Structure 1
Amino acid sequence: MTLIYGHRGAKGEAPENTLASFQTCLDHGVRRCELDLHLSRDGELMVIHDPTLKRTTGHRGKVVEHDAADLVRYDARTCGPEWRTPCPIPRLSELFEQCDFEHWQLEVKSASKVRAARMAKGIAELAKHHGLTDRISVTSSSREVLRAMQNLHPEISRGLVAEHAWLDPLKVAQHYGCDLLALDWTLCSPERLSKAQKAGLHVSVWTVNDAALMRRLADFGVDSLITDFPGRAVATLWR
């Protein structure tokens, strides 16, 4: 059976990367999620996709220019589906405490060597504290992030996020000891999928919102798909 991951919770159904979005995902019976992380100015892991605040909150500046105590007061409903109640930017620790997911794909965007190391340490400490070390995969398209995870916390699963085929995604994933390949669905040919799976990689394709495409990729044999509409995916693939 093809597994389903909610993209930023349930991005197509609720404000992305908010507690409301992740709860919507869980309400559909989907207990796997993908989310994005950035560091606050005071070093806390915040769940937000963009490095800047404008698109989702309307505030100016970068995430890293604001302390966590301020970020959690910003309403992240500016972009996406309408929602009646405020949806603050959550800390990762808050989601770990409140959401019972079986598995988390934690995507870390590009980062400097120092920042990548800080994020690797922060994720590892939080995961250990909440007993989730074996239920997370840290994913990234950044070689710096994957290298930091591999060198500093090899006990945590790693995944390459591959959007372009100018470098062989399989070779890059293997180089950093990944066991997950998060593949743009346009790159997911039956040949590439088979080769990756034979190499021991879990292949997760993104972002898949069309029901016919969901069925086609499931027929290919992808291990999981990441979708903005987990409810639609459940109706398409599990019923």
Structure 2
Amino acid sequence: MRTVQSLTSLSTLAVGSTVAFSSSLAWTQSHSSLVVSLAVVPSANGIPIPPPVEPILENTMSTSLSSSTAAFVANTQPFLADPTQLLGKQQVSLPAGLAMASVLAEEETLVADNAFLWVPPNKSLRNKLKLPTTGITQLASSTEFQRPRIVGHRGSLYEELENTRAAFLACAGICDAVELDVFLLKDGNVVVFHGSGDDRDPGLLREYCTNVDEVQQGATSILDLTLEEAQKLQFSTSNAELAAPAAKIQQGKIPTLEQVLLDLQPTGMEVKIELKGPGTARPVLDLVDRLNMVQQVSYSSFNLNEIETVRQLKPQQNSNGNYVYRTGALFDEVPLDYIEQARAVGASEVHLRYDTCTVDRIKQIHGAGMGSMVWMRGPVGMKADATQKFWDIGNEDESCFSALVETGVQQLCVNRPKVLYDLLEKQPQKQSEVQEDPVVTVAAWPLQSVRPVLKV
């Protein structure tokens, strides 16, 4: 039995070899992957050995790894094997009938022409959204293309500090709309701010700001402050959720909603106001009415009581039967009766977290006469999802956005609006290519989104 000390030495193994993996073979992440190319070879009597399992993808086959045997089969094409099955194993046998052809790996990225990427179904965003996972291109499968609207989540937060005037203005010319979060301060002013904490306890200050006690000793939430105090807060450059350049973070100040609305009024972009704090619906509606921006503004909340308040205060409908004051019911996890819940509070739209917007749910929303939107998690959450939860997408890259577009959703609320904009600009051309030639290269997911795969 040979001990594998390095990845390159794998290519020297003979058919039927039994190998042990050295403890010095380090993996960069728990799901980092070993790329191998194997070929079916004849048996002793010259008859090709049949594959041990049904193909996972066209031209690609694999068996799951057991404690003693790892059988990989691919028709002379590389594919991605799941090394999490290898970790902790004392030894792995390469069964007779399989020949190791090569090991393809690089320090920083994986590049292989005509390669096949196998991702376990439970690690596939496309699979979770009920989208095709074979016969697709990087941009889209051959479905009718409907260009979705681009919504800047908290503005363009990788360029400018989130939820600031600069972040929203950076969306002009790229986005159809911007999304922002508002709180009603104790002095009656409405400010634009997100803060740490979850949707049941939002607006927390400690992780977001560095000088909280200097502003008000013991304050924990934006709700504890007046406008004068809130605008003295300094944002933390060490908080990964604040993804803008450090200089922009240091310069950032919390704006009032009125300042932001006046900035955005001439741009024509829709302003999607998420009602974060309690009691925000009435003062926000009053402000929008005063600025004569009813047609440019919509309202959303995870707290469906706030949406119901908007509808109770503003039940007006236009001649088409649509609500004049548009609202969106936000869902993190999706309950079975989400359509009924949205209808009960008079929502115009349903907003789903990006990884819950299955094709069927989007059809249900549209079938109920409501609009649809998906929203991305913040920078920290999206990075975690792209490295741990889903292996077939990058951190809001084209493969991620392409999958979401294919669901038929009408709006995408994203942290990287320029990436989505560039994708949609070339989407019609790519879509026509797919329609003209439906036989496309089988590549379940583009290799460009694969992160560094191994550490030697």
TM-score normalized by the length of structure 1: 0.90
Identify the residue that residue 402 of structure 2 maps to in structure 1.
Answer: 215
Identify the residue that residue 122 of structure 1 maps to in structure 2.
Answer: 283
Identify the residue that residue 6 of structure 1 maps to in structure 2.
Answer: 152
Within 1, Cα distance between the matches of 2:167 and 2:298? 20
The runs of 4+ residues in structure 1 deviating greater than 4 Å are none
1:54-105 per-residue CA deviation (whole Å, 9 max, x = no partner) reads 2332243211111112222334463322143511001000001112242111
Q: 2:270 aligns with which of 91, 99, 103?
A: 103
| Mean CA deviation greater in 195-204 or 49-58 | 49-58
Give, in angstroms, the shift of residue 228 of structure 1: 0.5
Within 2, Cα distance between the matches of 1:3 and 1:184? 16
Give, in angstroms, the shift of residue 141 of structure 1: 1.1
Identify the residue that residue 227 of structure 1 maps to in structure 2.
Answer: 414
Equivalent pair of 2:329/2:351 in contact (CA under 8 Å): yes
Q: Which amino acid aligns with 1:146?
A: I
| CA RMSD, 1 decimal | 1.8
- 1:1-239 mapped onto 2 (5 Å cutoff): 1-26=147-172, 28-50=173-195, 51-60=203-212, 61=219, 62-76=221-235, 78=237, 79-85=242-248, 86-99=251-264, 100-109=267-276, 111=278, 115=279, 119-155=280-316, 156-207=325-376, 209-239=396-426
Equivalent pair of 1:33/1:101 in contact (CA under 8 Å): no
Q: Which amino acid aligns with 1:226?
A: C
Q: How many residues align?
A: 232
Q: Give the secondary-structure state (helix, strand or coil) at the position aligned to 1:158.
A: strand
Q: Which has the higher helix share?
A: 1
Distance 1:9 1:19, change over 3 A: same
1:8-59 per-residue CA deviation (whole Å, 9 max, x = no partner) reads 0012332110112112222x52140111111112011110112122233224
Within 2, Cα distance between the matches of 1:39 and 1:110? 6
Give, in angstroms, the shift of residue 110 of structure 1: 5.6
Q: Which amino acid aligns with 1:230?
A: P
Within 2, Cα distance between the matches of 1:55 and 1:19? 21
Q: Give the secondary-structure state (helix, strand or coil) at the position aligned to 1:204.
A: strand
Within 2, Cα distance between the matches of 1:181 and 1:228? 19
Which structure is larger by alpha-carbon Rg, 1 or 2?
2
Within 1, Cα distance between the matches of 2:302 and 2:336? 12
Distance 1:90 1:77, change over 3 A: farther
Equivalent pair of 2:182/2:277 in contact (CA under 8 Å): no
1:102-144 per-residue CA deviation (whole Å, 9 max, x = no partner) reads 2111111263xxx2xxx22211111112221122221011122
Among the aligned pairs, what percent are the same residue?
A: 22
Equivalent pair of 1:110/1:141 in contact (CA under 8 Å): no
Equivalent pair of 2:299/2:327 in contact (CA under 8 Å): yes
Equivalent pair of 1:182/1:205 in contact (CA under 8 Å): yes
Q: Which amino acid aligns with 2:210?
A: G
Q: Which amino acid aligns with 2:192?
A: V
Within 1, Cα distance between the matches of 2:167 and 2:397? 19
Equivalent pair of 2:152/2:416 in contact (CA under 8 Å): yes
